Every structure is written in C-alpha cells, then in structure tokens.
Chains A and B, each alone.
Chain A
Amino acid sequence: MNLVDTYIHEVTRRLPEKSRNEIELELESIIYDMLPDEYNEKEVESVLEKLGDPAVLASRYSDRPMHLIGPKYYDIYLTLLKIILPVSIIISLVSVAAVQFLNGEDMGMAELTLTAIFRETISNVISVSVQTFFWLTLLFAVMERMDKKNDGTPLSINFRPWTPEDLKTVTYIPREKAVRKMEVYGAIIWTAIWATIYFYADHLLGIYEKGENGWKLVTPAVNQDLLLSFWPFVILFIGSEIFLVVYKLIKREWDSKMAWFTTIYEIISSIVFIIIFTRPNFFKEDFLQLNSEMLNTSLSVVENSFIWGLCIIFILNALYTVSDSFKRAKIIHSGNK
C-alpha cells in the first residue's frame, strides 16, 4: 500500500459505511490532481500535509459530533449530575448502614472497628459515584448521537429550549435563608456517626491502649445494654433526622415549619438523652475507676462531672440549633411582593 491509499483509508475508516466509497474516490482524484505527473515521496508527503490530520478531515466529512456531550445537553447534564450524584451517595450510605446494622450480630461484633466502618463507607461512596457518573454520562452521550435535530441550542431543565416563562418556575431564595448544601451533607454524616456510635458504643467509646495490632479498646466507657434499651426512641430520632434532611432538600429554604420541627425534635431528643445519661450505671464501673485513678479524685465526682458535662453539651447544642433555625426561617423574602 502506498502513502496515498493509506491516507485515504485513514480518513474513510472513520466514516459511516455508506459514504465511504464516494469520499474515497473523491479524495483519490483530489490528491492526484495536486500532484505533478511525475512525483516522488516527498511531494506526496507535502500534498498530504496540506490535507492535514486524517481524523480532522474525517470529522469534517462526518455529521457525527467529535465530542461526548455537546452544548445542547451539557448544561442539563451537569445540573442532573449535581442532583443525582449526592442522592445516590445518600442512598448508598443509608443502605450500607442498614446492612451493617442487620448483619451486625452475625458478622461478629468484635471485628467491627472504626477503621473498618470508615473503609467500607469510603469504598462504597467511591464506587457509587463512579457508577452514577458513568451511566449518566453514557446516557447523555447516546442522546447526543441519537438526536437528529441537534442544533446546539442548550436545553433547560424541562428538556425544552429556554423561554422567559421558565423564570416563573424558578424560586428565588435569599442566600441567608437558603438551605446550605454543607448543612444537608453535614446532617447526614452526623446522623450516620452518632447512630453508629450509639449502636456500637461498647466497641468504640472508652479507653484505648496501644497493643501489637495497633490501638485497641480495653475499657468500654458505657453500658451498651442500657443504651440499647432506648432503641425505639433512637430509631425515631434517626427517622426524624432523615425526614428533616429530605424535607430541606425539597424545600431548599428555611421556613417556620422546619424551625418548629427542629425545636420539638431538639427538646425531645435532649430529654431522652439526658434521661439515658443520668441512669445509674450508665457509665461502666471499670471506666470510672480508671478515670478516678488517673485524675486522682473520687468515683462520684468523676461520674457526676461526666454526666453533667454530657448534659450541658447536649443542651447548649440544642439551644444553638433552635435559635439558628428560627433566625434563618424569619428572614423576610425580599424577592416576593
């Protein structure tokens, strides 16, 4: 095969079957027109250089796009990705937590450590993100290619070209009143953390000692059976927190209903947790013993300061959360008249 034939093949192999023959013939006649009657390899090369990269020439002949997702779909693709990615991550986290909880007993609780939970969660988040990204991108790449009427006009979120009517469906939310993304994700992560700690407190909380295989919990801090006896409340709390997060994601701005819900939730959960903390034998005897030896004080002083410390942290946190939610819900909607 000579250079000309190879060049032509390099162009046509990138083209749809049906237009190959015609373009092949045309390119051949074009190239030989450009060459003198007697020519050498150098001249052939200079002619082919004028025609340029076969891939570029082929793309100009072809109607198919040379991009994965073009201007028509790019904006809506990004918008959907931003919605779908976090939602699928949340779903995967919730399902990981549920599976962990349901299988907890069979797995052998002893194997459960913070690093194991952390590793499991991270690998899950990564694989779900990659999957979501891949399938959504593939879907849009296919749409880009199937679309016969693709003129590059961007689509808005309702899959139609933009009109001023679209503005009426956009709710304008002042910055201070808007539910911050960090706040929502933070709430999810926080729920996951405290729920894990609650159900596995005897494996996670306490005094650690460095052994041969790294840090190991030697003296659990709290009485797990006592903690678990409050499980209906805790399930209710987890449910409420998830409900609030979903509600926030849908509403996207603070309102007074949200503030009241938060208030009632904070009051009830603080009361329940204070009841839990103030139960006798909430803290394990060994744990208190060790602490009192370390701090050189009596057992009851240690116990009381731990209990009241926890209670004060919970109350302060509840007060801050409630006041913040009212402050943000009260901001006047300047956009509406």
Chain B
Amino acid sequence: MDKLFQSLLTELRRGSLTLAVLSQLWDQKYGYSLVQSLDQLGISIEQNTLYPLLRRLEKQGLVTSTWDTSENRPRKYYQLSQYGQEVYHQLKKEWIDQTEKLNKVLNKGDVEDEFS
C-alpha cells in the first residue's frame, strides 16, 4: 500500500516539477540556490532529478545558462529564455485550468462520499 502510494505520488508530482522549476528562473539562479528557493516554498525535489532536468531544459531551449567565474568557485547560472517565458505562461494557464476542473470533480466526489 505505502509503496503503491509513493509511486502514485511521484507520478502525480512529475508533471508539476518542470513548471515549478521554470517559475523560479525569472532571475538567474545556480543549481543549489534553486533547490533552496524551491525548498523554502515547500516544494521538495530530489537533486538527482533537478540537475539533469535543468540540463534538459537548456537543451530544449527553455533556459539559458552562463558560467560565472568571478567568484572563487565557478558557478553555472540558469535563467528563462524568451521562448521559455512563453512556454511558462502557456503551461501556467493550462495548470490553473486543469486544477480548477479537477477541484470541481474532487469536491463533487467528496459530497457523494458523505452520502454513501
């Protein structure tokens, strides 16, 4: 039961992770600072998922990256590209739309639950 629940939960979250990551990249951030800012917002993402995800987003042209070598340790900064911003807006709209619909369905389900 617990194992099944975990796998369902992972599946449920998977789609929203990309959106969450994109939302944090209006200002440029480096890998670990992104983890921290997501963490503060209560969104936990496994690091071995996040870093490869960032790299994939970069390949897909949704984010751009720059190496900052001015400090004592070089850091790779990520930021939304123009294209990434457009995609983010569309995805966000879809997400709100979907959750509204799903909430309606779930609330209706709850009412029926009480009567059964």
Query: Which residues from chain B contact A60 at a C-beta distance below 8 Å?
Result: 48-49, 52-53
Query: Which residues from chain A contact B32 at a C-beta distance below 8 Å?
Result: 30, 33-34
In angstroms, Cα B75 to Cα A51, docked, is: 18
Cβ of B83 < 8 Å from any Cβ of A? no
Using known A-B contacts A30-B32, A33-B30, A33-B32, determine if residue A25 contacts B48 with beta carbons closer than 8 Å. no
Find the B residue at minimum CB distance from A53.
B48
Query: Which residues from chain A contact B30 at a C-beta distance below 8 Å?
Result: 29, 33
Using known A-B contacts A29-B76, A51-B47, determine if residue A61 contacts B31 with beta carbons closer than 8 Å. no
In angstroms, Cα B49 to Cα A50, docked, is: 11
**How many contacting A-B pairs (Cβ < 8 A)?**
45
Binary per-residue interface labels of chain A (5-32) against chain B in the complex, 1 for a CB within 8 Å, 0 otherwise: 0000000000000000001011101101
Query: Which residues from chain B contact A27 at a C-beta distance below 8 Å?
Result: 51
Cβ of A52 < 8 Å from any Cβ of B? yes
Interface of A is mostly: helix
A164 CB → nearest B CB, Å: 29
Binary per-residue interface labels of chain A (51-63) against chain B in the complex, 1 for a CB within 8 Å, 0 otherwise: 1110011001100
Q: Which of A29, A50, A53, A56 contacts B74 (CB 8 A)?
A: A29
How many residues belonging to B are interface residues under a CB distance threshold of 8 Å?
17
Within 8 A of A (CB), among B42-101: 46-49, 51-53, 55, 67, 73-76
* A25 and B76 within 8 A (CB): yes
B13 CB → nearest A CB, Å: 15
In angstroms, Cα B32 to Cα A314, docked, is: 83
In angstroms, Cα B28 to Cα A158, docked, is: 48
In angstroms, Cα B51 to Cα A61, docked, is: 8
In angstroms, Cα B2 to Cα A254, docked, is: 51
* B55 and A23 within 8 A (CB): yes
Query: Which residues from chain B contact A51 at a C-beta distance below 8 Å?
Result: 47-48
In angstroms, Cα B46 to Cα A327, docked, is: 65
B28 CB → nearest A CB, Å: 14
